């Protein structure tokens, strides 16, 4: 399971410090309250969006595979808060929340899940293949580790052109055992590429724990094999994620130094929507629920006086309405016409080989 970040000390201090004194030392006090409330709304939006995606899948409105960001909202929002709009993001197949936080309308994300023409990939990609060059989200990848060399190549392209954008490459813990991960980190370190590799360590690659799959379960230490900076952050703390990611992103931007950030978080549900996660001990699931990043941030906002109960309830209602609107938009959008099946493929046509469509007869 995900190696626990110990909060004992912080909790002990919080419990013994008077409320007024705590306010003064509260790290949230140094932040723009409007920005913090915006993060909260975005985290709740990702949660509600994913719950609606799960429903849509169960009702067979969504096909293919479907992996959710439930429990990882602080990592999603904190990471994107550290990036400039013109920075590039590559992600694995668990990317719905990242797409929304990168600024893509939730309706277009849901429409892609629903396989509709209004989706980010015109309905031909689905849940694992969200892509929007304008928003600089360069995918959603279903092959574990597929995004890592591509993201490294994008960082090389930025360097080659003399740009000052940074690439952020999100992946899961299981991905750090793929060969391309090591090849990519090696070349990024050798060539000083502007890239931050972000490993979301949710403790599990499908049903296999990090301890069972990784000889060095402290994944941030893998960076040291390439003389790259690596560090671990509490992925359930949105401000901590933003701070760590911002530091590393800006260092990549100004000094061309790549880095590896390990964000320790938990999956609240199974690997994909259809996985009941029976391999998980109930104590592990309970620990994940107890560490829920949204409940934690909500309490912190109240405690710091950034928002009162009414304001937070209002933001929650707004987020729920936005997720509902995304579903309504997707459901009302047209399906692509089957004749367009090959319109966006790269395969070179072969002479005399007809491009058979699903309803065509195999032999004539
Ligand atoms: C090359 C490759 N091998 C195996 C799979 C099957 N597979 C899909 S997801 C997954 C686990 C990946 O776990 P992790 O990187 O921790 O990401 P998470 O799902 O936890 O976000 C595996 C083995 C795949 N998609 N691609
Ligand atoms: Mg994982």
Model confidence over 249-263: pLDDT tens digits? 999 999 999 999 999
The pLDDT, as a whole number, for residue 343 is: 83
What distance in Å separates the CA atoms of residue 302 and residue 143, rounded to the nearest whole number?
41
What pLDDT is stored for residue 237 in this prediction? 98
Q: Write out the CATH class of domain 32-334.
A: alpha beta
Distance 286 CA to ligand 2 centre (A): 18
Are 40 and 6 in contact by the 8 Å Cβ rule? The answer is: no
Query: Exposed, middle or buried by CB within 10 Å (0-12, 13-18, 19+), for 37?
Result: middle
What number is the average pLDDT over the span 74-80?
Answer: 98
Residues 164-220 have pLDDT tens digits of 999 999 999 999 999 999 999 999 999 999 999 999 999 999 999 999 999 999 999
Mutate to test the pocket of ligand 1, among 69, 143, 206 (most ligand atoms within 8 A of CB): 206
Tell me: pLDDT of 19 over 50. yes
Residues framing ligand 1 (Cβ under 6 A):
92, 94, 142-144, 171-175, 202, 204-206, 271
CB 37 within 8 Å of CB 307: yes
Cβ 266 vs Cβ 298: under 8 Å = no
Residue 6 above 60 pLDDT? no
- pLDDT number for residue 13: 44
Q: What is the pLDDT of residue 362?
A: 64
> Which residues touch 343 (CB under 8 Å, ≥6 apart)?
none
Map out the domains of the chain as residue ranges.
Answer: 32-334
Q: Is the pLDDT of residue 5 over 80?
A: no
- Tokens standing for 194? 């502007």
Residues with Cβ within 8 Å of 5's Cβ and at least 6 positions away in sequence, in order, are 232, 234, 236, 264
pLDDT band at 342 (very low <50, low <70, confident <90, very high): confident
Give the pLDDT of residue 10: 45
| pLDDT value, residue 305 | 96
- Which residues line ion ligand 2, judged by CB < 5 Å? 172-173, 202, 204-205
- The confidence score (pLDDT) of residue 168 equals 99
The CA 71 to ligand 1 mean position distance, Å, reads 18
Q: Identify which ligand lies nearest to the alpha carbon of 142.
A: 1
Residue 9 confidence (pLDDT) above 60:
no
Structural tokens at position 123:
């309905």
Per cent of the chain over pLDDT 90 is 85
Q: Give the pLDDT of residue 363.
A: 63
pLDDT of residue 11 exceeding 90: no
Q: Is the pLDDT of residue 41 over 50?
A: yes
Tokens 């104590």 belong to: 283
């Amino acid at each position: 399971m995900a190696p626990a970040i110990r909060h004992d000390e912080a909790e002990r201090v919080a419990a013994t410090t008077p409320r007024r004194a705590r306010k003064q030392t509260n790290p949230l006090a140094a932040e723009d309250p409007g920005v913090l409330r915006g993060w909260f709304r975005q985290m709740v939006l990702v949660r509600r969006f994913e719950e609606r995606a799960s429903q849509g899948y169960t009702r067979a409105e969504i096909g293919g595979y479907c992996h959710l960001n439930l429990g990882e909202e602080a990592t999603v929002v904190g990471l994107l808060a550290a990036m400039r709009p013109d920075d590039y993001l590559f992600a694995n197949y668990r990317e719905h929340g990242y797409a929304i936080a990168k600024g893509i309308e939730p309706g277009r994300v849901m429409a892609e899940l629903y396989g509709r023409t209004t989706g980010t990939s015109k309905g031909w990609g689905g849940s694992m293949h969200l892509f929007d060059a304008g928003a600089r989200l360069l995918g959603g990848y279903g092959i574990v580790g597929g995004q890592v060399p591509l993201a490294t190549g994008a960082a090389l392209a930025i360097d080659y052109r003399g740009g000052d954008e940074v690439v952020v490459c999100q992946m899961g813990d299981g991905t750090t055992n793929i060969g391309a991960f090591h090849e990519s980190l090696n070349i990024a370190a050798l060539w000083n590429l502007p890239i931050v590799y972000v490993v979301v360590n949710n403790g599990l690659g499908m049903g296999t724990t990090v301890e069972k799959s990784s000889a060095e379960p402290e994944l941030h230490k893998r960076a040291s094999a390439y003389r790259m900076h690596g560090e671990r952050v509490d992925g359930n703390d949105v401000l901590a994620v933003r701070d760590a990611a911002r530091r590393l992103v800006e260092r990549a931007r100004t000094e061309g130094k790549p880095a590896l950030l390990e964000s320790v978080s938990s999956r609240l549900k199974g690997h994909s929507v259809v996985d009941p996660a029976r391999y998980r001990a109930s104590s592990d699931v309970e620990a994940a629920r107890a560490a829920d990043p949204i409940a934690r941030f909500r309490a912190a906002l109240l405690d710091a006086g950034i928002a009162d109960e009414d304001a937070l309830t209002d933001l929650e209602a707004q987020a729920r309405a936005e997720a509902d609107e995304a579903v309504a938009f997707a459901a009302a959008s047209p399906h692509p016409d089957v004749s367009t099946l090959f319109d966006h493929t790269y395969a070179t046509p072969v002479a005399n080989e007809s491009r058979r469509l699903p309803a065509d007869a195999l032999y004539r």
